[in-house]
Amino acid sequence: MLTIEDVLNNLKVERTPKREALIRSAYEFALAAHQGQKRKSGEDYIQHSLHTALNLARIGMASRTIAAGLLHDVPEDTSVTLKEIENKFGKEIAFIVDGVTKLGKIKLRESKEELDLENLRKMFLAMAQDIRVVLTKLADRLHNMETLDALPENKRKRIALETLEVYAPIANRLGIGEIKGRLEDLSFKYLDPENYAFTKKIEEEEYEARKKYVDKAVSELKKELLKEGIRVIEIYGRSKRLYRLFQKLKKHDMDIHKIYDLAGIRIIVPEVADCYETLGIVHKKYRPLVGRIKDYISLPKPNGYQSIHTTIFGPEGKILEVQIRTKKMDTEAEFGIASHWIYSDNNNNRWKSLLFGKKKKVPEEELTWVKQLREWQNDIGKDDQEFLEGLHIEFFKNHIFAFTPMGDVIDLPEDATPIDFAYKVHSEIGNRATGAKADGRIIPLDHKIHNGEVIEIMTSKERKGPSQDWLKFVRTSLAKAQIKKSLKKNGL
């Protein structure tokens, strides 16, 4: 049974008397409100509140968010009103609680395509106003998935599909690898139990077979790094998550021997310079697999993920993946945006101030995804089908990077075209585009851009505007909106 002490003992922020008092007060309030209530699993309802709060504490959230986590179901499931919570705990905590309640109303219909669009809009609005609303909802959903066995099968499948289609991708876009991975695996278990069991079995068998090579490589690399004067904070073996492993198996004809990163090693070092020096030492010790080095430090993923990945021929020529990163990068890979926003109890409007550029300044890259989200919302208009399509393509799907000839990085969804790229750079470049090059070679305007390509857009002042045909292949809602706007202006 979880207790409030478990929550307090897992705080990542400083455990000050003021923070502890607020958390304990919220706990006592929630305990009284939920008195006598049981969950479908038979446990006291307060256990769910405590698990939600614990999940928030573990990803580094501070007292107000944790208090909201404890209180998040009170207005909906008890006789206590939101106004009473506001009177007792203030507007900020009441706002988070209210936002979580609203997000809880998002439900999948019979088909995964039939999402409640208006509520999805509310979710994105809530995300742009205060990210803590979404983080609290993710913490709530994680515990619900961990206790899903208590529900009837039809509900289990609906909630699991909803989690896989909506909540896990949001955790991914926020960079919270730990929650994203757990949500995916739990969804997989209920949506496809046969393949879940199959994947689990081969993962356990194969990892056990590869473990001795991993352990040997860990021991040898540790010795080598120590000899070269690198301070290693941590070095350990790791296995791939089940859902991600199954996705890879499907791509490789279900052949486990074609998957190189099932068993891997993670090396945590103090500084960025140590990462690159460590890479050199790893390659000196073990031959790297050509074309399998990925530098996400100099070019982070759109969700902020940073690390160096390399694949090596380890002991006895066995292929292993090695990930190298700093402690800060490792924390951010696990906890994502939550690791950046440890909310001060004395700064009520910090998120709103940061979001709209008032008062405090933050590093540009930390808010890139928020700016993209706001631009995306503004551009899509009110067409429901377009909204849903844009949602799946631009927010939930994987993203790629492309470069301008000057070296600027342009973030795009997978399968984006040179026209999408052009409009992302500037609307006039899009409107006047006549051709494109990728890495110096001429490509068609409907070419699907590959990660890391340098894209050059050729333009002409004589061109009066975009072609209507472009609407057939562009992927981003920004490009679609700009093309339609220009066509309308030209009377087309």
Residue 127 is encoded by which pair of tokens?
């995300």
Distances (CA, A) of 430 to 158, 439, 440: 41, 19, 19
Residue that terminates a domain, selected from 191, 212, 242: 191
The dihedrals phi and psi of 141, each to the nearest 5 degrees, come to -65, -35
In a domain, 348, yes or no: no
Reading across the β-sheet that carries 455-459, which strands appear in turn?
441-443, 433-438, 455-459
pLDDT at 468 over 80: yes
In a domain, 361, yes or no: no
pLDDT at 171 over 50: yes
Confidence at residue 338, expressed as pLDDT on a 0 to 100 scale: 62
User: Bigger pLDDT: 385 or 465?
Assistant: 465
Mean pLDDT check: name the lowest of 161-175, 257-271, 349-363.
Answer: 349-363
Q: Does 174 share its domain with 43?
A: yes
Give the mean pLDDT of 432-459. Answer: 92
Confidence at residue 114, expressed as pLDDT on a 0 to 100 scale: 52
pLDDT at 26 over 80: yes
Q: Does 116 share its domain with 78?
A: yes
Give the mean pLDDT of 268-284. Answer: 96
Confidence at residue 392, expressed as pLDDT on a 0 to 100 scale: 65
Q: Which of 283, 265, 251 is nearest to 214 (CA)?
A: 265
Confidence at residue 108, expressed as pLDDT on a 0 to 100 scale: 59
The single-letter DSSP state of residue 392 is I
DSSP lists the bridge partners of residue 309 as 294, 323
Mean pLDDT check: name the lowest of 49-58, 193-202, 237-246.
Answer: 237-246
Per-residue model confidence as pLDDT tens digits over 211-236: 888 999 999 999 999 999 999 999 99
CB 419 within 8 A of CB 425: no
Q: How far apart are the first and last CA of the chain?
A: 66
* CA gap 86, 94 in Å, rounded: 5
Confidence at residue 80, expressed as pLDDT on a 0 to 100 scale: 94
Tell me which residue has tokens 């955790």. 171
CB 378 within 8 A of CB 339: no
Per-residue model confidence as pLDDT tens digits over 35-45: 999 998 889 99
What's the mean per-residue pLDDT of the chain?
A: 84
Confidence at residue 167, expressed as pLDDT on a 0 to 100 scale: 87
The domain total for the chain is: 3
Residue 93 is encoded by which pair of tokens?
């905590």
Confidence at residue 356, expressed as pLDDT on a 0 to 100 scale: 34
Residue that terminates a domain, selected from 191, 220, 235: 191
Per-residue model confidence as pLDDT tens digits over 297-333: 988 887 778 999 999 999 888 888 999 999 999 988 8
* CA gap 149, 80 in Å, rounded: 29
Give the mean pLDDT of 447-472. Answer: 90
Q: Does 181 share its domain with 125?
A: yes
Confidence at residue 326, expressed as pLDDT on a 0 to 100 scale: 95
At residue 115 the predicted structure's pLDDT band, cuts being 50, 70 and 90, is low
As a whole-number percent, the residues of the chain with pLDDT over 70 amount to 82
As a whole-number percent, the residues of the chain with pLDDT over 90 amount to 49
Give the mean pLDDT of 433-449. Answer: 94
Q: Which of 397, 401, 426, 425 is nearest to 412 (CA)?
A: 401
Give the mean pLDDT of 240-244. Answer: 88
For residue 469, the domain's CATH number is 3.10.20.30
Residues in the chain: 492
Residue that terminates a domain, selected from 191, 211, 228: 191
CB 2 within 8 A of CB 48: no
- Residue-number span of the structural domain to which 371 is assigned: 366-489
For 142-149, the CB contacts below 8 A with 24+ separation are 142/55, 142/179, 142/182, 142/183, 143/48, 143/51, 143/52, 143/55, 144/48, 145/182, 145/183, 145/186, 145/187, 146/51, 146/186, 147/39, 147/40, 147/41, 147/48, 148/186, 148/190, 149/41
At residue 345 the predicted structure's pLDDT band, cuts being 50, 70 and 90, is very low
User: Bigger pLDDT: 360 or 448?
Assistant: 448
Confidence at residue 285, expressed as pLDDT on a 0 to 100 scale: 95
* CA gap 343, 61 in Å, rounded: 7
Give the mean pLDDT of 268-282. Answer: 96
Mean pLDDT check: name the lowest of 99-103, 138-142, 420-424.
Answer: 99-103
Q: Does 87 share its domain with 164?
A: yes
Q: Does 428 share its domain with 469?
A: yes
> What is the H or E stretch that residue 403 is in?
strand 399-403
Confidence at residue 394, expressed as pLDDT on a 0 to 100 scale: 62
Q: Does 155 share its domain with 215?
A: no
For residue 269, the domain's CATH number is 3.30.460.10
Q: Which of 469, 464, 491 is nearest to 480 (CA)?
A: 469
Give catalytic residues, as residue numbers.
76-77
Confidence at residue 343, expressed as pLDDT on a 0 to 100 scale: 33
Q: Which of 294, 64, 51, 337 is nearest to 177 (CA)?
A: 337
Strands 319-326, 263-269: pairing is parallel
Confidence at residue 120, expressed as pLDDT on a 0 to 100 scale: 64
Q: Does 135 share its domain with 217?
A: no
For 161-166, the CB contacts below 8 A with 24+ separation are 161/108, 161/112, 161/187, 161/191, 162/106, 162/107, 162/108, 163/187, 164/188, 164/191, 165/108, 165/112, 165/396, 166/106, 166/108, 166/115, 166/396
pLDDT at 340 over 70: no
Q: Does 32 share its domain with 166?
A: yes
Q: Does 207 share its domain with 265?
A: yes
DSSP string, 439-486: TTEEE-TT--PPTT-BEEEEE-TT--S--GGGGGT---HHHHHHHHHH
At residue 367 the predicted structure's pLDDT band, cuts being 50, 70 and 90, is very low
Confidence at residue 369, expressed as pLDDT on a 0 to 100 scale: 54
Task: Note the pTM of the prediction, 2 decimals.
Answer: 0.73
